[in-house]
Structure 1
Amino acid sequence: MKNLKINNRFTAELPTDPELTNEVRQVKNTLFSFVNPTKPSNPKLVHASEEVAELVGISKDEIRSEEFLNTFSGKEIYPETQPFAMCYAGHQFGNWAGQLGDGRAINLTEVENNNQFYTLQLKGAGKTPYSRTADGLAVLRSSIREYLCAEAMHYLGVPTTRSLSLILSGDQVLRDVLYNGNPAYEKGAIVARVAPSFIRFGSFEMLTARNELKNLKQFVEFTIKHYFPEITGEPKEQYIQFFQKVADTTREMIVHWQRVGFVHGVMNTDNMSIHGITIDYGPYGWLENYDPNWTPNTTDSQNRRYRFGNQPSVAQWNLFQLANALYPLVNEAAPLEKILDSFMNNFEKDYKAMFLSKLGLFTSSETDDKIIKGLEEILQLSETDMTIFFRNLSQVKKEDSVEEAFRKIEFAFYLPEEIKEQILDAWQKWLSVYLKRLNSEILSDEERVIKMNAINPKYVLRNYMAQLAIDAADKEDYFLVDEFFQLLKNPYDEQPESEKWFAKRPDWARTNVGCSMLSCSS
């Protein structure tokens, strides 16, 4: 990997933890601690992304090298680098959790390629000073889910971290998948992740909570200088602009989540990136039947704080915590409050435009709000597959009758026998209004199909699909890992040879572990 251009700005310019022992402890007056990955006993490459490798300056041939395997499994330290774990805090499920930090993530280095900077990070590479009571390792199960989902999200057009490689460690890791007192050994694995940086809302929360205001100022200015160079002006104005940028990109990310039916499952402030990218794929899930109250996280099953329909509100709440962290630098509440107050209004405008585009409606009408609200309600009357419904809706033509339009979307119903009487009547009424609205559009049916199919994916990483890949990989069969990786690189294309994956969740997956809800160890 001779072309890797190392540029360790984070560790060169920010306060360092002077203690080098890898003991779990409270780490103060610093942003990171140097720590080496735990050496795996027998690493084996399962899969790697050639596109992401090229992004950071690694060739296709180098992916198959022993140096690549050793570097991205944590077995060897790349020359002129010093791995580190970041120190940050956060709110978890709405409660202040204090110091958290990279408990099972280790940043290898920062690299520069084509005038862009990337941080290379290993997830599951072993214990750090922030591992609390855990071992810092990860299992193949959760690693496959992260590896595939990050790349799937990228190709869906959702801002996200990227996946470089998935490597088996050769070691066994003890995990209690359901937190029910029945731990078992599973195969260990490491995912190499790539992002502009892994700076989180909680990074700033920690410094303010500890009253480390000198470090807070230095860190905010470091972040603006390197990641938001377009921000200029007096320092106070820069801090406000920085908060505005984070609010804007966060809002855009959430709109994309709602567009494709993605549920993060654990939107703690330590899992929120200042770049507005999806980060930390733990107990995530894809909305299969349209249910705004669904959460994939077993830990969240009672309060459902992180349910699909609540993601915009949680994002605003998390931004409020970031505003509190930045307040000592701004020393004025009004400009921060203005940004927070406008967040939901801006989100609702963006959401409406996004939802109308999913419906193939690209001009405005006074009936739009009624059409959106009506559909959101009717989708919940009987289990309806979100992805299939919106994809098949593009097949409806302007001249269709209500009955013809209904036949084109009925494949999305999980229980077609329920679609009768009041439910059938509700669908017929909505389709009648929709067809009338469709006929007011200037675009032809052919033009509209192209636009709708570029917004409504045909293929997403359904929970049962990920579980099938995991089950096969446990038997050292990685065919499905690669098949899904390739399939999800073109999620908006028809791909007729892969039509079997354009299907509703099978009955066996309704309540199966890994297919419905997951724990934070997932």
Structure 2
Amino acid sequence: MTLSTSGLHDDLSQLRLDNSFAALPSTFYTRLQPQGLTQPRLLHANEQAAALIGLSPRALQSEAFLRVFSGQQPLPGGDTLAAVYSGHQFGVWAGQLGDGRAHLLGEVIGLEGNWELQLKGAGMTPYSRMGDGRAVLRSSVREYLASEAMYGLGIPTTRALALVVSDDPVQRETVETAAIVTRMAPSFVRFGSFEHWASRKQPDELRTLVNYVIDRFYPECRQTPTGETADEKGAILRFLDEVTRRTALLMADWQAVGFCHGVMNTDNMSILGLTLDYGPYGFMDTFQLDHICNHSDTQGRYAWNRQPSVALWNLYRLASSLHTLVPDGDALRAVLDRYEAQFIQAFHARMAKKLGIQHWRPEDEALLDSLLKLMHDQRADFTLTFRRLADAVRGQTQGFQDLFIDRAAAQAWYEQLAARHAEDPIAEESAADDAPAQIRANAMDAVNPLYVLRNHLAEQAIRAAKEGDASEIETLLTLLRDPYRAKPGYESYAALPPDWAGGIEVSCSS
């Protein structure tokens, strides 16, 4: 066994694999090998993600690593496959879907849990439909960065291990070059995985999938509060309840940082409550309640202010699938009825911290709503509005006011917040060394990021990557992994976007 000085493996062949999804019946997937890239080049590898599966930095530079993650050869000990699922896309039943350009290489036993490794952009599968099975450089860079940005924000997400590029041509709106991003997650099972078997009226396969997911990821659902083993109905209801809770918390996370997913189809909803499938996503610059980040979303179904309700709609589709095994519709609805309160409580908790409020009160909703309306009407920057609130608490209100056309209105709102702070004092024992205002402001900085993956920053990384330069990717990863602490010399990465950023459009082809 080849180990580095850090105790991590220098050789991929030393990884331990489980491949639990591949142990399911063959109806759940198709076994096939990827279609490797021609003359691939490793643009970037993520040492932090690699450590999760026991790989050393040295392993990432090996020829074997490049061959595996360019799709040229299998992962040692893996069991390569493409999974089948179905789903609703933009609210319309789309029927059978599946991994149209993704190949699951295997499931690695990590140091603190298992991780499935999946190539995105590795060629056609039986589920590609009219697609070519490829991914282009720009979308691959965006996904690579986004998953790590969300991780840095503490938001549940898939991770990214490697980004491999090639000169292979790929036709989109224009001819672009191919790339493969390696994604990592404990599981890539989605809501649509359950819809698939329910729609086909195959309860045995649905039960197999439910049992696999519960046993693997939700074993606590097998037990009742009294410690007795739950029957099938009880286990499934508890499973749905936990998925509902995780989804509500995820939506609160998204809303609190101004993140728009762009394509919240049921096949893009993780059964583990992870942010999954980064396509035409966006972190808002100018705040608009009904901001649409996906140029293809002409009806605004997935606008920022609609994401929480869309998540509930998707949960109803999941519950409808489980109705095949649990005919008690009232019991299923009772679980889903808890979603709204769970989301609101979580969202208020997050926004209270962003506003520097220690204990949320019902009347604080009016204070928050008035700020969001002001930001919407004045087209203020989402991220910087909250970040500069902390400076205002320190007595430096000009930066906050500068984000608004009507500076007087911004100051009037801030005075309301200051009055609220006066009713919510910092405990004296917490203020032993610093002034209470400084303690409050520091706490606000700890939850209001300075750096987010704005579209123009991603675009700058893409342009450099097209020239074979990964330095912008490395810089962004450094900033986004620690997004709350200001770093001297990187002020431009925390500034308002340049004028040309308004012309960036992302769509489903991204």
* TM-score normalised by L of structure 1: 0.90
Q: Aligned partners of 2:75, 2:481: CA distance in 1, in Å?
A: 30
Q: Is the 8 A contact 1:388 1:411 kept in 2?
A: no
- Aligned pair partner of 1:216 in 202, 206, 219: 206
Structure 1 segment 62-461 matched on structure 2, within 5 A? 62-114=59-111, 116-176=113-173, 184-232=174-222, 233-300=230-297, 302-365=298-361, 367-397=363-393, 400=395, 405=397, 407-413=398-404, 418-419=405-406, 424-443=407-426, 444-461=436-453
Secondary structure of the structure 2 residue equivalent to 1:394? helix
- The count of aligned residue pairs is 483
Q: 2 CA distance for matches of 1:114 and 1:311?
A: 34
Assess if the C-alpha contact under 8 Å between 2:393 and 2:438 holds in 1.
Answer: no
1:441: Cα distance to partner? 2.3
DSSP-derived class of the 1:328 partner: coil
Structure 2 residue 35 is matched with structure 1 residue 38: yes
Equivalent-residue separation in structure 2 for 1:202 and 1:196 (angstroms): 17
Separation (CA, whole Å) in 2 of partners of 1:109 and 1:160? 19
Is the Cα–Cα contact under 8 Å of residues 84 and 107 in structure 1 kept in the other structure?
A: yes
| d(CA) in 2 for partners of 1:506, 1:344 | 38
- Asked whether the 8 Å contact 1:297–1:520 carries over to 2, the reply is yes
Shift of 1:491: 0.4
Instruction: Tell me if the contact between 2:270 and 2:276 (Cα under 8 Å) persists in the aligned partners.
Output: yes
Cα offset, 1:439, TM superposition: 1.5
Residue identity opposite 1:352 in structure 2: H
For structure 1, which runs of at least 5 residues remain unmatched after alignment? 17-29, 177-183
* Structure-1 separation of matches of 2:267 and 2:349: 30
Whether the 8 Å contact between 1:293 and 1:307 is mirrored in structure 2 is yes
Distance in 1, matches of 2:204 and 2:324, equals: 10
Name the CA distance, whole Å, in 1 between partners of 2:130 and 2:261: 24
Q: Which runs of 4+ in 1 moved over 4 A?
A: none
The residue identity in structure 2 corresponding to 1:212 is Q
Q: Does 1:11 align with 2:22?
A: yes
Q: CA deviation at 1:365?
A: 4.0
SS in 1 for 2:109: strand
Gap regions ≥5 residues in structure 2: 1-11, 223-229, 427-435
Using the alignment, how far apart are the partners of 1:425 and 1:483 within structure 2? Answer: 37
Match of 2:432 in 1: none
> Is the 1:3–1:58 Cα contact (8 Å) retained in structure 2?
no
How far apart are 1:481 and its partner, in Å? 1.4
CA distance in 1, matches of 2:473, 2:399: 32
RMSD: 1.3
1:372 and 1:107 mapped to 2: Cα distance?
43
Cα displacement string for residues 374-406 of structure 1 (whole angstroms, at most 9, x for unaligned residues): 1111111211001111001011237x5xxx63x
Segment drifting more, 156-165 vs 499-508 = 499-508
Q: State whether residues 84 and 96 of structure 2, in contact with CA within 8 Å, keep that contact through their aligned partners in structure 1.
A: yes
* Partner Cα separation in structure 1 for residue 380 and residue 331 of structure 2: 43
Q: Which amino acid aligns with 2:403?
A: A
Q: How does 1:428-507 map to 2 (within 5 A)?
A: 428-443=411-426, 444-507=436-499
1:299-327 per-residue CA deviation (whole Å, 9 max, x = no partner) reads: 10x31000011100000000000000001
- 2:214–2:239 Cα contact (<8 Å) kept: yes
In the alignment, structure 1 residue 519 sits paired with structure 2 residue 502: no
The worse-fitting range, judged by mean Cα deviation, of 369-378 and 128-137 is 369-378
| Superposition deviation, residue 78 in structure 1 | 2.3
**Residue-by-residue CA offset, 1:236-285 (whole Å, 9 max, x unaligned):** 11111111111111111111111111100000000000000001000001
Q: Is the contact made by 2:13 and 2:77 (CA closer than 8 Å) also made in structure 1?
A: no
Contact 2:461 2:472 in 1 (8 A): yes
Alpha-carbon spacing, 1:7–1:392, altered in 2? closer, same or farther (3 Å): same
One-letter code of the match for 1:388? L
* Distance in 1 between residues matched to 2:278 and 2:156, nearest whole Å: 13
How far apart, CA to CA, are the structure 2 residues paired with 1:365 and 1:219?
42
Structure 1 residue 425: Cα displacement: 4.6
Q: CA deviation at 1:79?
A: 2.9
Partner residue of 2:48 out of 47, 51, 60: 51
Displacement of 1:192 in angstroms is 0.4
C-alpha displacement of 1:411: 3.5
Q: Counterparts of 1:15 and 1:366 in 2: how far apart (Å)?
A: 51
**Cα offsets for 1:14-45 (capped at 9, x unmatched):** 120xxxxxxxxxxxxx2111111002111110
Return 453-462 or 348-357, whichever deviates more.
Answer: 348-357
